[in-house]
Protein backbone atom coordinates (compact mmCIF):
# COMPACT_ATOMS: atom_id res chain seq x y z
CA UNK A 1 0.00 0.00 0.00
CA UNK A 2 1.29 3.41 -0.97
CA UNK A 3 -0.33 6.79 -0.47
CA UNK A 4 -0.21 8.66 -3.76
CA UNK A 5 -2.33 11.74 -3.16
CA UNK A 6 -4.04 13.85 -0.51
CA UNK A 7 -6.70 16.43 -1.23
CA UNK A 8 -9.01 18.54 0.90
CA UNK A 9 -11.96 17.88 -1.39
CA UNK A 10 -13.72 14.49 -1.02
CA UNK A 11 -15.49 14.91 -4.36
CA UNK A 12 -12.20 15.59 -6.12
CA UNK A 13 -10.67 12.59 -4.36
CA UNK A 14 -13.51 10.37 -5.56
CA UNK A 15 -13.00 11.62 -9.10
CA UNK A 16 -9.28 10.88 -8.98
CA UNK A 17 -10.06 7.44 -7.60
CA UNK A 18 -12.29 6.76 -10.60
CA UNK A 19 -9.48 7.92 -12.92
CA UNK A 20 -7.10 5.38 -11.38
CA UNK A 21 -9.69 2.62 -11.38
CA UNK A 22 -10.39 3.39 -15.01
CA UNK A 23 -6.70 2.75 -15.72
CA UNK A 24 -6.91 -0.63 -14.00
CA UNK A 25 -5.15 0.38 -10.78
CA UNK A 26 -6.49 -1.06 -7.51
CA UNK A 27 -6.86 1.86 -5.13
CA UNK A 28 -8.83 2.97 -2.09
CA UNK A 29 -9.93 6.19 -0.44
CA UNK A 30 -9.09 6.68 3.24
CA UNK A 31 -10.24 9.29 5.74
CA UNK A 32 -12.89 10.45 3.30
CA UNK A 33 -15.97 9.93 5.41
CA UNK A 34 -15.09 10.60 9.03
CA UNK A 35 -18.12 12.81 9.44
CA UNK A 36 -18.50 14.13 13.00
CA UNK A 37 -14.98 13.21 14.09
CA UNK A 38 -13.38 15.86 11.90
CA UNK A 39 -13.40 18.62 14.48
CA UNK A 40 -11.39 16.58 16.95
CA UNK A 41 -8.48 15.69 14.69
CA UNK A 42 -5.70 17.77 13.16
CA UNK A 43 -7.08 19.10 9.91
CA UNK A 44 -4.73 17.39 7.51
CA UNK A 45 -5.42 14.00 9.11
CA UNK A 46 -9.03 14.30 8.01
CA UNK A 47 -8.31 14.88 4.37
CA UNK A 48 -9.20 12.15 1.92
CA UNK A 49 -6.17 10.12 0.91
CA UNK A 50 -5.78 7.98 -2.17
CA UNK A 51 -3.80 4.78 -1.69
CA UNK A 52 -2.79 2.19 -4.24
CA UNK A 53 -2.99 -1.44 -3.14
CA UNK A 54 0.06 -2.54 -5.09
CA UNK A 55 3.25 -0.56 -4.46
CA UNK A 56 4.27 -1.19 -8.07
CA UNK A 57 1.38 1.01 -9.21
CA UNK A 58 2.61 4.04 -7.30
CA UNK A 59 4.56 5.70 -10.13
CA UNK A 60 1.82 5.22 -12.69
CA UNK A 61 -0.84 6.40 -10.25
CA UNK A 62 1.09 9.59 -9.48
CA UNK A 63 1.54 10.23 -13.19
CA UNK A 64 -2.17 9.69 -13.92
CA UNK A 65 -3.12 12.06 -11.09
CA UNK A 66 -0.70 14.70 -12.36
CA UNK A 67 -2.16 14.40 -15.84
CA UNK A 68 -5.71 14.48 -14.52
CA UNK A 69 -5.00 17.69 -12.62
CA UNK A 70 -3.36 19.42 -15.58
CA UNK A 71 -5.84 21.49 -17.54
CA UNK A 72 -6.55 19.77 -20.83
CA UNK A 73 -6.20 22.97 -22.82
CA UNK A 74 -3.35 25.11 -21.48
CA UNK A 75 -3.93 27.76 -24.16
CA UNK A 76 -6.62 30.32 -23.56
CA UNK A 77 -9.73 30.47 -25.68
CA UNK A 78 -9.70 33.19 -28.32
CA UNK A 79 -12.38 35.13 -30.16
CA UNK A 80 -12.33 34.92 -33.94
CA UNK A 81 -11.79 38.27 -35.59
CA UNK A 82 -13.82 37.15 -38.60
CA UNK A 83 -17.07 35.92 -37.11
CA UNK A 84 -16.82 36.60 -33.39
CA UNK A 85 -16.98 32.92 -32.44
CA UNK A 86 -15.15 31.81 -29.29
CA UNK A 87 -12.63 29.13 -30.27
CA UNK A 88 -10.79 26.78 -27.92
CA UNK A 89 -7.13 27.63 -27.51
CA UNK A 90 -5.87 24.35 -28.93
CA UNK A 91 -7.27 25.24 -32.37
CA UNK A 92 -5.12 27.40 -34.63
CA UNK A 93 -8.04 28.38 -36.85
CA UNK A 94 -11.70 29.17 -36.36
CA UNK A 95 -13.92 26.10 -36.70
CA UNK A 96 -16.76 28.33 -37.85
CA UNK A 97 -15.25 30.34 -40.71
CA UNK A 98 -11.73 28.96 -41.04
CA UNK A 99 -9.92 32.20 -40.25
CA UNK A 100 -6.50 31.70 -38.65
CA UNK A 101 -6.04 32.90 -35.09
CA UNK A 102 -3.47 35.59 -35.90
CA UNK A 103 -5.06 36.76 -39.15
CA UNK A 104 -5.88 40.47 -39.15
CA UNK A 105 -9.52 41.55 -39.16
CA UNK A 106 -10.91 42.22 -42.63
CA UNK A 107 -11.69 45.71 -43.83
CA UNK A 108 -9.75 47.53 -41.18
ZN1 LIG B 1 -14.57 32.67 -37.35
Dump pLDDT digits (tens) for 29-55.
Answer: 987 555 545 455 555 567 889 999 999
Expressed in angstroms and rounded, the spacing between residue 72 Cα and the centre of ligand 1 is 22
Expressed in angstroms and rounded, the spacing between residue 16 Cα and the centre of ligand 1 is 36
Structural domains in the chain, CATH included, are: 2-69 (3.30.70), 73-108 (no CATH)
Expressed in angstroms and rounded, the spacing between residue 101 Cα and the centre of ligand 1 is 9
Q: What is the pLDDT of residues 58-100, one digit of tens each?
A: 999 999 999 888 766 567 889 999 999 999 888 889 999 999 9
Expressed in angstroms and rounded, the spacing between residue 108 Cα and the centre of ligand 1 is 16
In this predicted structure, the answer to whether residue 24 has a pLDDT above a threshold of 70 is yes
Total-model pTM: 0.57
Question: How far apart (Å, rounded) are the C-alpha atoms in residues 39 and 4?
Answer: 25
- CB atoms under 10 Å from CB of 86, counted, come to 10
Question: How far apart (Å, rounded) are the C-alpha atoms in residues 102 and 92?
Answer: 8
Amino acid sequence: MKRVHVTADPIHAGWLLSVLEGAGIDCILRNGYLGGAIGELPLNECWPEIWVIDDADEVQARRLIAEAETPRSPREDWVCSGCGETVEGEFAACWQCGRAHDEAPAGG
